[in-house]
Every structure is written in structure tokens, then in C-alpha cells.
Structure 1
Amino acid sequence: MKITKYIIGALLLPVTLVSCDGLFRDAPNDKLSEEVIWENERLLDEYVLPWYRNMDNGFRTYVTTLMKGLGYEYEPWYGDQLTVGRRDWYQGDYGNILKSSQQDITTRGRTEWFKYYTQISSINTLLENESRLPENIRQRVLGEAHFFRAYYYYTLLRMYGGVLLIKEPYNPLKNPVKFPRASYEEMVRFIADEAELAASLLDVTNTADNVGRPTRGTALMLKGKTFFWAAGEHFQNCEKDYLGFLNDRSAEMLDSAAYNYERVMKSGVYKLVEIAGTTRDEVVAGYRNIFLTKNSEESIWEVQHADDGNFSNANGHKLDREASAPSFGATTAAYNPTQNHVDEYRMANGLPITDPASGYDKNNPYEGRDYRFYANVLYDGAEWRGHTMDLHYTTVDGNEVAGEDLTPYGTSTTASVSRTGYYMAKFLNERQTIDTNDTYASSQNCIIWRYAELLLDMAEIDFKKGRTVAALDKVNQIRRRVKMPELQSVTWDDIFNERRVEMAFEKTTYWDLLRYNIAEERMTGTTNPLFGVKIVVKANGTRTITNPVVNGRNTVVRYFRARQYYWPLDWDDVRYHEIEQNPEWVEM
């Protein structure tokens, strides 16, 4: 493995030809040699396809694949906004990583390390042959190459800190050079330079036949995100330069992030998707539609999923099937919003539910909330797919009888229901067919970056730089879109809360906890247990509402230890390159 990931690009394994009516399909028909690849536009598309497929799994990969030894997207489940319904998953890789298992994290880390360096090797090989690329597409392909090289190193930086900065084809069988660990300074500068070069080569917008490829704005957003990440509290005044800066560089990093974000904003390409309606139902429908519309004016970068409803032969996914309640024939309950998250939604008047003046009624907790709550979360009494969600228990002859959406579907012993008393609605398509067909697929794209996130990043920067009026304006732009009252002044808690609500269930919420240096507190059960809701309606019509722990002190233990801010580097590379491992990891 330690050799293969570096020489796979140099060897240029035969490219698989596809039956291609789009960039993101891959049905193999034939194999071709290196000699014809660089000069053929279609074959080059096949060559770069893995760069797209390996950058992010989007909605395609699920916790259910753990038992098959495949990968999964860990970000949404390891924060405190979501948990999963299947109890047996806690006995697999997901649960072991949740419990801070060194062995499982090391295995997962090695897989990701190999995947990213394989793509970097492929990119380096193409760049070595750039003079041979067809003139009519050379600039675009080189832009893609530099963008993805920056993107993969950005991903490595977040997961591992400073890594091996390999910029050219590398074959240790021919040239046994050894690479040191790059410092944070070197990593950030290289990523930023690559992103800037990509921006100079890529078009401002894509033509219809190139939808889904990175643009100039995508590259500048990556550059801004790199500086924004590097400004995080956890990465200042570090003992080792590959773990962060040796001094405090946050102010400088924030300035650089803001400069590049402003370049994205001034391009005029991106803006918030407007919601025309004003009633609660109209706003809810409009907000949900943002995440069902592919490549909208708000989207800066997203994973392209196939439109043809096929999971096995195209890049579709099973989001709707995995997330749905048993009343629709689903059995997985993969995405359970927590009470922790529900409590983050303020009242429609803008006040937190803890404020005595907010009007919050603990006996009617779902009345008068921020409209985004109704768009994102399915609760007892919510309407979905023409069905009223039945998420309470009824007392019958002294026994508690679970409602329809808390009762497993069918006869399967592994069929699951929500553990929290909530189901997710954000991202889901109410019209998607839910059945047991293994080839069916959902098709909505998974947004990685959108303009709302850029505004929230900028609001955070403005606030930290003392520009509170500018920060307030950006927060209110987002609030106006969903017809919530504008704030008259802004605090750090306001910005933090707006980010948590607007970006709910999106991957940035996981990385935010690391960036803010609060992951140990927020992702550990003893300090932040996850709560659900249990509603019991008695025979006389009265009801009780309690909030049991569902993932924390008394059930599944959750730990996030200091060592997990960075995962362990591949041990083969640690030995071969004679470099230091990340702190507190031991070889298993």
C-alpha cells in the first residue's frame, strides 16, 4: 500500500472507457494504454473522473455500508445534531469510532490517507504531461488539476495536519527520496497558491455541457476556506509546526479568508436563493427546495449525483430510503435529529427558547418556532408526504403503545425507528419512491459549499475584527430569506446559533466544532449527552413530555479525545519517511 499510492499515477493504469452522456457515469467498455490518453478529450474525462468521485461521497455512502467493509461519511453523525436509529451499528466501525477506538480510527485513517494520495499521484502525473493535452481543453483540464490538488491537500490538512507535500510524480522504486512533514505554513501556502492558479485557469461559469466542474468561484472559495480553517483557535500557538502555527496567526488568516471571500462575492455569480412566499408553509416549501435544486445560484460546489434513478450503475444514492420513517416502508432510520439540535431553533420572534420573553411553551414545544425548524425536522404532528407524523405513545390499559412512526416496519428484526422522536426532512424529496428495489436511487445533489455559508463565514470574520455592523447585515440577509425578524444587534452567540440552524446537518457543523476547539466537550457524552423526546398521551387526553438520554451517559458512550483533532498518519509512511506521528497515537 505504501508504494502503490505513490506510483499508481506514474504507472498510469489503463483508463476505463465509459458509455458517456455525462461526466459522472462509469460503465466499463474497454481499456486503453497511456499513449492515447493525453491527447483525447473523452479519455481525459475518464482520467479525471476519480478526482471527482473520491473528493466526497456526498449522499451516496451510508452507515449501513460499514458491515460490508466500505467507507462512510462520518461528519454528520459525530457532532450533536444527529444520531442513528440502528442499535447494531454501534457494534460496528461507526460505534467504535464514536467510542474513540484507536484501532478503528487508525484503520479508517489509513483508508482515507491512501485514497487521497492516490488521487494526488494521478494529478501529479497529468501535470507532468500538460504539454501533451489538447489545446482546446488544456486550460480547463489544468484548472481542474490544480483545483483538485489543492482540494485534496485541504482535506488532508483538516484530517491530519501537515502531511507529505508531494508535488511531482513519485516512484520510490526508482527514486527512494523521503519527504518530511510539511508545516502548517507550508500547507496553507501551497493550497492557497494552487487554488489561485486554478482560479486563473477556470471559467467564471460553466457551460451547459460542463456543469459540475469547478469554476473560478469554486477555487476562490477553497482558498478562502483554507485560510478560514487555519484561523481556528485550535491551530494557534502549537508545539509542533505541523499541528498548527507556533504563534497566533489567526488575525492574518482571517484577513486572507475575507479577501478571497470578497472576491467570490464581487464576482456576482452567487446569491441566496429567494423564497417568494411569506406564510410558514410557503417558506418551508421554498427552503426545502433549495436542497432539491441542482447547481442553483446559491451553490458554489456540490457533489453531482445522477438523475436517472439508478443506484448500482450510476452515482445515485439512498438518502430518502435511509432517512424515512417506517410509515413509508423504510427500515433504517439513519438520520435522527437530536433534542439538542431542536432546542437550537429560536422562536419566530428571534428570541432563544430559554428567554422568558420568548413565548416558548414547554407543553407545546413546536409552536411558534423559526420556520427552518419546520423545514428541517419532522416532529410529532408534522405533515410529510400527506401523512401526519405519529411520534408519540398512547396509554392503553396502562401500557404505552408506540405510534406508527415509532413502530418498526415489517417483520425484519433489524428494522429500526428513530431513537430521538424526530426524523430529518432537510435534503429529502417528498415525491421520491420508497421501496425495496436495490437499484433505485435518489438523485438530489449534496452541496459542499453554498453562498449562505460564505455569508456566515464572513459574519464570523467581521465580528472578530470588530466590524459588528457588517456582521449583523450578513446574518440578517440569511434571516430575511426565511422571513425571520432581523436582529437589531448581534452577539457571538447570535452568529454561532445562526450558523448551527442555517447549516443544520451539513458537514461544516462537524468541522466547526474542531475549528472552535470545542470538539472534546460537544462530542463527549459525559459533557454533552444527546437527548431525544418522549411524548406520552394518556387516556384522559393529557400528555407528558420528557427528554431521555439517547446517546451519552447511560447508553452508548461517546468520546472525543484530544488526539482526535488529527487522525493518525499511515504507519507505513511514518516508518518509511521517518517522520513523527500525530500525538498520542500508537501503532495497533
Structure 2
Amino acid sequence: MYRILSIVGFLVIFQACQKSGFLDQTTTTSLNEESTFSDSANAMAFLNNIYSNMGFASDPKRFNGGSYAAGLEASCDEAEGPNASSSNGFIQFATGTVNPTVVPDDAWRASYNNIRAANQFLKHLPVIPFSNSLKQTSKAEAHFLRGWYYFMLLEHYGGVPIIGDSIYTTEDQMPQTRNAFSSVVNYILDECDSAAAYLPVTQTGSNYGRASKGAALALKSRLLLYAASPLFNDGGIAKGIDGLDSIVAYPDTDPTRWAKAAEAARNVIALNAYSLYVDSTTVSGQLGYGFMDLFTKRYNTEYILAHMMESNKYLESLWDVPSRGGSGGPVPYQEMVDAFPMANGLPITDPNSGYDPQNPYKNRDPRLDYSIIHDSTLRITYGANQPTPVTLYWNTKVSPAVAASGDAVHKGTATGYYIFKMIDPDIINNGIGTSPRCLPLIRYAEILLNYAEAQNESVGPDNSVYQAIEAIRQRAGLRPYTLPEGMDQGQMREAIRRERRVELAFEGFRFFDVRRWMIADSTDNQMMHGMEVDRGTTVSYNEFNVRKHNFKKAMYLWPLPLSEISKLPGLKQNPLY
């Protein structure tokens, strides 16, 4: 359950993040426990390394098997993962074959490894030669990090063993009882409060990327939203199973949990430290450009917590089209494309939306083009040091044939689409240049969506709910961005869920959202589709089957890895596995 982590192993080579930042690469040798914590630089490096795994759960390469890598986007109804015959984690969830024997153990292993490291840091903090103020803030950071990793465990498994400040060795008897769901929630809340009391509202300069008061309050917002959701109330999927109903969920239903979630999000908003990133001037007349541009910025007003990286081509190498040096996968499903509304904000299924199936990408929500590369997408390439617009086509019937035809459906993409979100349009993987990007872990748009959902469930669609959702739609470039007046709670619920799906696409949210809403048995239990474009005498768009996703009720939670239960047989497995 808890692997013994060598301090030397933590400090040999740190995962690189930000130049002139707190996660610079560091090389150390001949370190032991005493030399690590008796030296201020080594001790800080130890704390910094706990940050390095913060983004593992939503990382686009989370499930990495050889040359085939994907994340949670390929484990739900967002995208098709690469290499359909592989046995990666994303295939297991897509096909419904996940079980305790084969499930990836990263959520359990990485979380407890880092919780143990936080405990080591806190144990030795009194002797570390830090100033009193630095001891106070670094202690707060360690509490935040510990809360962060417990939340990772909670969203995957429900209640888990809380080890407190203990640091177990191979000789120690470790706890074999999973704490109640409510106990884990309360523990994380206490960790967030301990952090928020002593951290600055935001971090700047070389400390950008470290935990802040804003991040601690934002984690509370996410936690309480999950805790109020259907999956974690009334026993969840363990309802009627004595001994598990209070472990994987609250055994009862309490509507005030939504009010607490709304208050937590409101507290982040009230800091007045964050705002949606809006850019309406860089590209004249290009609505919603800020939504695209914010992900290429190292610093922006919207990131509350980010996973820092060196200048990189991380996403260009993974998601971009093959003609630009990308691996081309995972690739979005037609269902994801169809989730984006029209530019007037109406769903494409609305008869008044103006959607034309013979011109399906015209007059759509600008976030569609900023998130997904489709047939006839216009991309910039560089020749003779001059940017030139090139239209990418996905089939070979274009006359004359274009170089990008190798990106075609059934060649470069299994669905007819590629992910474009967070890709830097000025970077080509097989060319020169890198992006200063870092990956978002919490951004202000999520907080607005958290607030709208919780407030709507608590009191209904009041004016503040409208304001939160309309702010996101306005930044996205929808015209009009306003929602229909007089919506009831159910209608607003569906509007919020649609908005959350497209705004947070490919950021690791959809997988858990459909579970906490308990709709995955529908969204993740259907045939997924792609799009062929035939440019013969006339242009036609032909939808085709890609993969039948299978979902079992047990999959609302991850199974505890069998290897851990074998070591600690007192641990109760999650329901239905």
C-alpha cells in the first residue's frame, strides 16, 4: 500500500518544469535523510518534488504503453484512444473490461507515495534551517499537497485509509480499514483550511505554480461539489450493501451539501484575484480568441493552479496532426463535436439553431475550432520564414491533392478529428520552436461552473447562476451569449452540464463528471462515431461507427488494485468488482 520511497530517489533528478522557477532541474548525490533535511536547499527540493506528480490524473499521457499514450479523454465519450488492440488503461475503461487485476494502480500508488513524502517533510520541518516565515508557508504547502492527493484517491475510490502523520516502513502494521467517505472529506477540508490560513492569495514570480490560498479554496470548491453529487450520496452504488454504503459515499442524502459547495465556490470568486482570460484585440474580429490563447500563456488571470513545465512541445507531439509531427491520437468522437452548440448558443439539435448537416462546422461555437481540428480546418505553416495558411483536408479526393492528405480519416485519425485544445498554433512539432505553456489544474472557469451547478441544485436558477454561465459563454464568443429567460432547475441543470462539457473538454473532467452525475451508464455505454468527408462531385458528410463503449455499474468507481488488497486483505473492495 505504501511503498518505501528513497529520499535519494526523490532528489536524483526532478521532473523539469519552469525555468527560473521553483521546479528547476536539480541533481544531487550522496544524500541521506540527515543530509536532506539539514540542508535548506535539499529540503526545499524535497518539497518541490511532491509537486511534480500533481497533474498525473489528468495528464494526456497518463496511460502510457510503449508508443501508445492517452489519458482520461480516451476513457470516456470524448475521444478514441490510439491502437485499438492495445491493453492500456483507456482501452479497459472504453471496453468495460477493467477489473482489480488489470486496473492501473497509479491513482493509489502515486497518491500514497506523495502523501508519505508530505508526512516526511512535516516530520522533519522543525529541524530544517528555514526562517520562521518559510517554515510556516512550506508547512501550509505540505498540508495542501497532502489534501490534493487524498482528493485524487477520493474521486477514484471513495473512502480510503487515512494515515495521518504516520510514516510506515516494511516492518510496520499498516491500517487495513478504509475510512468513511465523510471522514476523508472532512480530512481534506481540514488540510485545505490549514493551508489557506498561511498562504498568499496568489503566487507570483519564481513561486508561480506553488500552492496558494486561492488554490486551497478552489480545491475545497471541487471537493464539496463532488461530495454533493449523486454518486456520493444515499450510499451511491453501494446502497443496501452494509459496510460499504458509508465508505464509498454518504449513507444519506443532505440537500445542504449543495449549499456548502456553492459557498465554497463563492469564496473563491470573492477573492477578486482571478478572472476569465479575455483577448478581443490580438486577432481583430475573432470572437472567443481568449479561450484559445489562454492555454498558450504561461501566466494568465485564469489559472488558479498549474502544472509547471519547461518550454515544450508536449501537446503538439501527442495531439497534433501527423503532417505537423504529431502522433495523431487520441482523437475526438463525433459525439464530442456535436456537443458544441452553434454560434448563437443553441444546441445543434434545436430546430431554431440554424445547424446545416451539409456544412456542419459553419457558424459553430468558436470553442469548436479552438478545441478540435476537423476537415477543412485552416492551419498556419511556415515557409521561407513566412506564415502561410494551409487548409487541411481529411480525404484523398481533393483536387489537386494536398500534402495533408496523410492526415486523412482511417489514415492519421480513426474518427476524422484531432484534438486542438491547448495546442500552440505557432508551434510545429517537426519544426523549430517551443511553447511556454504549462497545463491547467484548476482554472477560474471551473469555479464559475462549480458555483452555477451547486447554486442551481441548492436554490434553483437564480440571477447569480445565469451570470456565472453567461460570463463563460460571453468569453467563448457566443452571440448572443445569454441563456433563455425563465429556465427551470432541470433545464438549467442540462445547460450547465452542456457548458461544462465543452468548456472543460480534454482537461480530465468529463470522465469524473459523468460518474458523479451517475449518467455514465448512458454516455459511456453507446456506439461512438466518426465523420468521413467525401469531396467528389459534391461534398458529403458521412457518419460512421468507431467503437461500442461498454459501461458496467461497478465502473462508477475504480476497483482497488488486487495487488494492494493482497497485501492488506482487510481492505474492502469497491462494490460489484
SS in 1 for 2:56: coil
* Residue number in structure 1 paired with 2:562: 571
In structure 2, relative to structure 1, the CA distance for the partners of 1:35 and 1:136 (3 Å cut) is farther
| 1:390 lines up with 2:393 in the alignment | yes
Q: In 2, distance between residues paired with 1:383 and 1:179? A: 56
* Residue number in structure 2 paired with 1:82: 79
Higher deviation after alignment, 487-496 or 91-100: 91-100
Q: In 2, distance between residues paired with 1:328 and 1:109? A: 31
* Displacement of 1:290: 1.0
Give the letter aligned to residue 57 of structure 1. F
- For the Cα contact (< 8 Å) 1:563–1:583, is it kept in 2? yes
* Displacement of 1:226: 0.8
* Displacement of 1:408: 5.5
| 1:185 lines up with 2:182 in the alignment | yes
Give the letter aligned to residue 517 of structure 1. M
SS in 1 for 2:225: helix
* Residue number in structure 2 paired with 1:242: 247
Residue number among 461, 469, 472 corresponding to 1:475 in the alignment: 469
| 1:260 lines up with 2:259 in the alignment | no
- For the Cα contact (< 8 Å) 1:345–1:501, is it kept in 2? yes
SS in 2 for 1:282: coil
In structure 2, relative to structure 1, the CA distance for the partners of 1:17 and 1:344 (3 Å cut) is closer
* Displacement of 1:172: 5.1
SS in 1 for 2:423: coil
In structure 2, relative to structure 1, the CA distance for the partners of 1:577 and 1:295 (3 Å cut) is farther
* Residue number in structure 1 paired with 2:383: none
Matches within 5 A, 1:151-162: 151-162=148-159
Give the letter aligned to residue 23 of structure 1. F
Residue number among 414, 426, 431 corresponding to 2:426 in the alignment: 431
Gaps (5+ residues) in structure 2?
240-244, 381-388
Kindly report the root-mean-square deviation, in angstroms, between the aligned alpha carbons of the 2 structures.
Answer: 2.9
* Residue number in structure 1 paired with 2:499: 498
In structure 2, relative to structure 1, the CA distance for the partners of 1:107 and 1:138 (3 Å cut) is farther
Q: In 2, distance between residues paired with 1:482 and 1:321? A: 26
In structure 2, relative to structure 1, the CA distance for the partners of 1:406 and 1:281 (3 Å cut) is farther
Higher deviation after alignment, 374-383 or 296-305: 374-383
Report the TM-score when normalising by structure 2: 0.87
Q: In 1, distance between residues paired with 2:295 and 2:283? A: 19
- For the Cα contact (< 8 Å) 2:280–2:289, is it kept in 1? no
| 1:200 lines up with 2:197 in the alignment | yes
* Residue number in structure 2 paired with 1:512: 513
Residue number among 205, 213, 216 corresponding to 1:216 in the alignment: 213
* Residue number in structure 2 paired with 1:312: none
What whole-Å deviation, never above 9, does each CA across 1:143-170 have from its counterpart, x for those lacking one?
A: 1110011011100011111111001223
Report the TM-score when normalising by structure 1: 0.85
Gaps (5+ residues) in structure 1?
310-316, 410-414, 553-557
| 1:122 lines up with 2:117 in the alignment | yes
What whole-Å deviation, never above 9, does each CA across 1:428-463 have from its counterpart, x for those lacking one?
A: 1122132299xx965421111111111111111121
In structure 2, relative to structure 1, the CA distance for the partners of 1:543 and 1:573 (3 Å cut) is closer
In structure 2, relative to structure 1, the CA distance for the partners of 1:461 and 1:479 (3 Å cut) is same
What whole-Å deviation, never above 9, does each CA across 1:71-90 have from its counterpart, x for those lacking one?
A: x6631111212223x43554
In structure 2, relative to structure 1, the CA distance for the partners of 1:374 and 1:502 (3 Å cut) is same
- For the Cα contact (< 8 Å) 2:11–2:49, is it kept in 1? no
Q: In 1, distance between residues paired with 2:207 and 2:62? A: 31
Give the letter aligned to residue 559 of structure 2. P
What whole-Å deviation, never above 9, does each CA across 1:246-289 have from its counterpart, x for those lacking one?
A: 1113x222222222211111111111112224988522543211
In structure 2, relative to structure 1, the CA distance for the partners of 1:327 and 1:577 (3 Å cut) is closer
Higher deviation after alignment, 19-28 or 205-214: 19-28
Higher deviation after alignment, 17-26 or 559-568: 17-26
- For the Cα contact (< 8 Å) 1:16–1:46, is it kept in 2? no
SS in 2 for 1:477: helix
* Displacement of 1:35: 2.0
* Residue number in structure 1 paired with 2:386: none
- For the Cα contact (< 8 Å) 1:345–1:352, is it kept in 2? yes
Matches within 5 A, 1:159-174: 159-171=156-168, 173-174=170-171
* Displacement of 1:101: 2.6
Residue number among 532, 538, 545 corresponding to 1:542 in the alignment: 538
- For the Cα contact (< 8 Å) 2:256–2:458, is it kept in 1? no
SS in 1 for 2:37: coil
SS in 2 for 1:535: strand
SS in 1 for 2:135: helix
Q: In 2, distance between residues paired with 1:216 and 1:506? A: 22
Residue number among 517, 523, 528 corresponding to 1:530 in the alignment: 528
Q: In 2, distance between residues paired with 1:74 and 1:551? A: 17
In structure 2, relative to structure 1, the CA distance for the partners of 1:402 and 1:108 (3 Å cut) is farther
Q: In 2, distance between residues paired with 1:177 and 1:26? A: 34
* Residue number in structure 2 paired with 1:313: none
- For the Cα contact (< 8 Å) 2:221–2:450, is it kept in 1? no
What whole-Å deviation, never above 9, does each CA across 1:511-555 have from its counterpart, x for those lacking one?
A: 11111101122112xxx22111111122xx312211101122xxx
What whole-Å deviation, never above 9, does each CA across 1:36-74 have from its counterpart, x for those lacking one?
A: 333433212221233111222388652783127x9x663
- For the Cα contact (< 8 Å) 1:278–1:483, is it kept in 2? no
- For the Cα contact (< 8 Å) 2:275–2:302, is it kept in 1? yes
Matches within 5 A, 1:9-20: 15-16=11-12
Higher deviation after alignment, 155-164 or 483-492: 483-492
* Displacement of 1:120: 0.9
Give the letter aligned to residue 316 of structure 2. D
Q: In 1, distance between residues paired with 2:361 and 2:518? A: 32
* Displacement of 1:393: 4.8
Q: In 2, distance between residues paired with 1:185 and 1:422? A: 42
Give the letter aligned to residue 16 of structure 1. V
Q: In 2, distance between residues paired with 1:148 and 1:584? A: 31
Matches within 5 A, 1:34-183: 34-57=33-56, 62=61, 65-67=64-66, 74-84=71-81, 86-87=82-83, 90=86, 92-102=88-98, 106-133=101-128, 134=130, 135-171=132-168, 173-183=170-180
Q: In 2, distance between residues paired with 1:132 and 1:29? A: 20
In structure 2, relative to structure 1, the CA distance for the partners of 1:160 and 1:374 (3 Å cut) is same
In structure 2, relative to structure 1, the CA distance for the partners of 1:182 and 1:417 (3 Å cut) is same
Give the letter aligned to residue 187 of structure 1. V
In structure 2, relative to structure 1, the CA distance for the partners of 1:408 and 1:224 (3 Å cut) is closer
Q: In 1, distance between residues paired with 2:92 and 2:76? A: 15
Q: In 2, distance between residues paired with 1:561 and 1:417? A: 31
Q: In 2, distance between residues paired with 1:197 and 1:215? A: 11
Q: In 1, distance between residues paired with 2:13 and 2:50? A: 16
In structure 2, relative to structure 1, the CA distance for the partners of 1:572 and 1:343 (3 Å cut) is closer
- For the Cα contact (< 8 Å) 1:295–1:302, is it kept in 2? no
* Displacement of 1:220: 0.7
SS in 2 for 1:55: coil
Q: In 2, distance between residues paired with 1:207 and 1:55? A: 19
In structure 2, relative to structure 1, the CA distance for the partners of 1:12 and 1:254 (3 Å cut) is farther
- For the Cα contact (< 8 Å) 1:456–1:475, is it kept in 2? yes
- For the Cα contact (< 8 Å) 1:277–1:283, is it kept in 2? no
* Residue number in structure 2 paired with 1:459: 452
* Residue number in structure 1 paired with 2:24: 25
Q: In 2, distance between residues paired with 1:459 and 1:226? A: 15
SS in 2 for 1:283: coil
- For the Cα contact (< 8 Å) 1:392–1:403, is it kept in 2? no
- For the Cα contact (< 8 Å) 1:536–1:545, is it kept in 2? yes
